[in-house]
Amino acid sequence: MLDFIGRLTARQRDPRLLLGPGDDCALIRAAPGRAIVLTTDEMAEGTHFLLPRSTPEQIGRKLARINLSDMAGMGNAVPVAALCGAGLPESTPWQWVKEFTEALMSELNSINVSLAGGNLTRSDKIHVYLTVTGEAKPSETARRGGARPGDIIFGIGAFGEARAGLEILLSGKPAETRFKKLLDSFWLPPIQLEAGAVIGKRKLAAALMDNSDGLYKSVKTIAAASGCGALIEVNEDARSPALAAYCAARKKNWRDYVVSGGEDYGLVLAVNPRKARGFIETFPQACCLGVMTAGRDILFHENCKPRNFEHF
């Protein structure tokens, strides 16, 4: 297994990677005047995916994307290299390892990120994790705790689609082609690295984070970190055509998906009203989701019952 990973990673020719797999640590060249950015996330069998309803390729690609989404949530953070670890049962087929690793590397290499090393161990169930290192100018990063009352809450990316895709997956009827986009949103969420970079460079966000655990929890997190409350107002521009069609067919409230769905991996941010026009001109596809308020309450304009997102 180690020989296989070594052969794969030997193909990488990234000048920032001074020393890759094979030693106790990797060495990465840091650019002058930049801070090191670090993030890590994992996917565990029974919590983030179910076998046999998940392919190793799907898991590998999603593992890369959920970590890169954290980078996007920091503003103009440029990912450089990654470390991957896995706990695998002894019965795991070699083909599973091969397909997972190739898919993971394909995702990383597509944005010029090197797989710099990792670790393997035995476990009762499959769990895989990734640590991504990057770099950024501190002045071009955005944090969760900078929002103030009156700031406007915006969202970039799909909301609620991944939750709908998960429902389709669990229904045992994933071949329903008219909802393929929702399945894709669950397994291959578009990552907003370019949007995060622009937000960071232009200092458009008072507070920013990626939307991994649902809009309600994201807004709560920003509000708590900023010492504010929020009024969430979800209008139809937050509802994608695919989600609208799914909810109409199932006779479900689309707002529940937008507010409480998880694993969308878009961006949620608070924007000072003085910068709102420039933000909208830069991101015309963004949707307005409410406003930060004084106090600590999270209120809703619509009649919906928010809940914190949970995995399986």
Question: Mind listing the pLDDT tens digit for each residue in 65-81?
Answer: 999 999 999 999 999 99
Classified as helix, coil or strand, 128 is: strand
- Mean pLDDT over the full length of the chain: 90
End-to-end CA distance of the chain: 30
Query: What distance in Å separates the CA atoms of residue 242 and residue 245, rounded to the nearest whole number?
Result: 5
SS (H, E, C) 76-105: CCEEEEEEEEEEECCCCCHHHHHHHHHHHH
* Among the four given CATH numbers 3.40.50.1820, 3.40.1160.10, 3.30.2310.20, 3.30.1330.10, the one describing domain 2-140: 3.30.1330.10
pLDDT at 6: 57
pLDDT at 172: 77
Query: What distance in Å separates the CA atoms of residue 303 and residue 305, rounded to the nearest whole number?
Result: 7
Answer yes or no: pTM beyond 0.75: yes
Q: Where are the domains of the chain?
A: 2-140, 152-300
pLDDT at 67: 97
pLDDT at 25: 74
* Burial (CB count <10 Å: 0-12, 13-18, 19+), residue 252: middle
What DSSP string describes 215-237?
HHHHHHHHHHHHT-EEEE---GG
Classified as helix, coil or strand, 176 is: coil
pLDDT at 250: 92
Comparing 291 with 52, the larger pLDDT belongs to 291
Domain 2-140 and domain 152-300 have a common topology: no
The structural architecture, per CATH, of the domain 152-300 is Alpha-Beta Complex (3.90)
Query: What distance in Å separates the CA atoms of residue 225 and residue 111, rounded to the nearest whole number?
Result: 31
Average pLDDT estimate for 169-195: 87
Q: What is the pLDDT of residues 282-299, one digit of tens each?
A: 999 999 999 999 999 999
Query: What distance in Å separates the CA atoms of residue 143 and residue 279, rounded to the nearest whole number?
Result: 17
Least confident piece of the model among 84-88, 162-166, 172-176, 200-204: 172-176
pLDDT at 176: 62
